[in-house]
Amino acid sequence: MTPLQAATHADPYDYYARLRRNAGLLFDADLGLWIASCARTVEAVLAHPDCCVRPLHEPVPAAIAQRVAGQVFARLMRMNEGVAHRCPRAVMEPALAALDAQRIALDVEQLSAGVNNLDAWMFTLPVSVVARLLGLPDEQLQIVAGLTRDFVACLSPLSNEAQLRNADAGASQLRQMFSGVLEQTVLLSSIRAGDWKDAEVMSANLIGLLSQTCEATAGLIGNSLVLLARRPDLVERVKREPTLAIALVQEVARFDSPVQNTRRFVARRCTIGRWVLEAGDTVLVLLASANRDSDAHSQPDSFVLERPQRRLFSFGLGRHQCPGQTLALTIAAQAIVQLLRRQPAVLEHACQQGYWPSLNGRIPRFNAAPVSS
Ligand code: HEM
């Protein structure tokens, strides 16, 4: 196994434990990557000012640099450092933090009627909730979810030419849809009132909210379903006490993270622990391994529903730490509550068939056939 294959391996956690025992940071000559596997090194890399989200020589991947998708990518806070990161973040972070959990729960309830295909539901529901919070009309939510998935494909090095063309079309159409939004939701008005360099930066980061939501939250819901399918005792507990769903998805995020790794690119020679990294080096940061480090948690390999002082690496740390964490956990918890309340049989019939191909996301794939309630 390699650290990249681990993301979609049936059980990567023994392998991660071996990496941690070997060294907190090691150089994988075959992959040409440093691998950070321990809680301490993961934290140090993510906190380091010279470990950046993009390589200095390639702020936008060459495959999309000349395309519409590349214009959006270039403006995303996720893909920038310095002012181009801080300014959008200063608007988006407080706007997301101010969201009302009850409103989100209501949106999830209204949008989860009649689940007949788990894969489609996992991918569509979270994006639809966020699109609705951003004022996009209900009749466009399915389309928005499809366009977002098309755009997200351009973020993966695994995507082919046809996917890149679709990503361009997705980015253009989403931009157009946002420019036509009339309803001023609470979230959209606080974002629009923010201090933006120009309208292009704002619209790119609105697309960024949808694209960041899409796969990671699908994975969080999916990995929660995988866990529940193995633990009927937890199904019963959450059915009896739905407020436990939030603890369930938090522990799933720790135990089986939907985002297994992220990358940092070294801008200047720097030191992490006892290792010296050179400008131009790349670090693969194993968030999912740090979650299982005994320095961060007692009984790290056990699923402990009500875990005191859970330290989550799954949402990143430091200046790029996910600003959508609470929103994502709320959507996933409510999705599970709704499924167990309305269509518990869907879970019984769910049959997992591995994971969607990815180098960093862990998103289970379920039976393609419609499932009955
Ligand atoms: C409603 C759903 C979500 C939204 C709106 C959202 C939004 C974002 C945004 C805008 C960023 C970029 C922040 C920055 O660069 O300053 C980000 C980063 C991140 N998000 Fe989320 N996110 C969501 C769900 C998730 C989920 C479910 C996970 C995984 C459990 C996740 C994991 C991460 C990670 C690891 C980063 C940091 C990546 C890095 O530092 O390299 N996100 N998110």
Ligand 1, atom 38, lies closest to the CA of: 316
Q: How far apart are CA 122 and CA 217, in angstroms?
A: 8
Q: How far apart are CA 256 and CA 140, in angstroms?
A: 32
Give the residues across from 213 on adjacent strands.
none
Pairing between strand 33-36 and 282-285? parallel
Instruction: Tell me how far the alpha carbon of residue 154 lies from the centroid of ligand 1, in angstroms.
Output: 17
Q: Label each residue of 78-115 as H, E or C.
A: HHCCCHHHHHHHHHHHHHHHCCCHHHHHHHHHHHCCCC
Q: What pLDDT, in 10s, does the model give residues 117-158?
A: 899 999 999 999 999 999 999 999 999 999 999 999 888 888
Q: What pLDDT, in 10s, does the model give residues 247-260?
A: 999 999 999 999 99
Q: What pLDDT, in 10s, does the model give residues 273-325?
A: 999 999 999 999 999 999 999 999 999 999 999 999 999 999 999 999 999 99
Amino acid 322: pLDDT: 98
Ligand 1, atom 6, lies closest to the CA of: 324
Q: What pLDDT, in 10s, does the model give residues 188-226?
A: 999 999 999 899 999 999 999 999 999 999 999 999 999
**Residue 171: which of 87, 71, 240, 253 has the closest Cα?**
71
Question: The tokens of 139 are what?
Answer: 């009749």
Output the pTM of the full model.
Answer: 0.96
Q: How far apart are CA 142 and CA 139, in angstroms?
A: 7
**Residue 123: which of 143, 149, 103 has the closest Cα?**
149
Amino acid at position 21, single letter? R
Q: Is residue 70 pLDDT above 70, yes or no?
A: yes
Ligand 1 binding site (Cβ under 6 Å of any ligand atom): 53, 77-78, 85, 89, 126, 130, 208-209, 212-213, 216-217, 220, 253, 257-259, 262, 314-316, 320, 322-324, 327-328, 331
Pairing between strand 364-366 and 282-285? unpaired
Residue 281's alpha-carbon distances to 101, 155, 271, in angstroms, are 41, 20, 12
Domain segments of the chain as ranges: 5-366
Q: How far apart are CA 137 and CA 135, in angstroms?
A: 6
Ligand 1, atom 10, lies closest to the CA of: 209
Amino acid at position 280, single letter? G
Q: Is residue 371 pLDDT above 80, yes or no?
A: no
What is 5-366's CATH number, 1.10.1060.10, 1.10.10.60, 1.10.630.10, 3.30.2010.10? 1.10.630.10
Based on the number of CB atoms within 10 Å of its own CB, is 55 exposed (0-12), middle (13-18) or buried (19 or more)?
middle
Helix (H, G, I), strand (E, B) or coil at 9: coil
Q: How far apart are CA 72 and CA 89, in angstroms?
A: 16
Question: The tokens of 191 are what?
Answer: 């974002």
Amino acid at position 14, single letter? D
| Ligand 1 mutation target, pool 212, 213, 254, 255, most atoms within 8 A of CB | 212
Amino acid 373: pLDDT: 41
CB atoms within 10 A of CB 49: 11
Q: How far apart are CA 247 and CA 249, in angstroms?
A: 6
Q: How far apart are CA 211 and CA 197, in angstroms?
A: 21
Q: Buried b / exposed e across 79-92, counting CB within 10 Å, b at 16+?
A: bbbeebbebbbebb
| Ligand 1 mutation target, pool 322, 325, 331, most atoms within 8 A of CB | 322
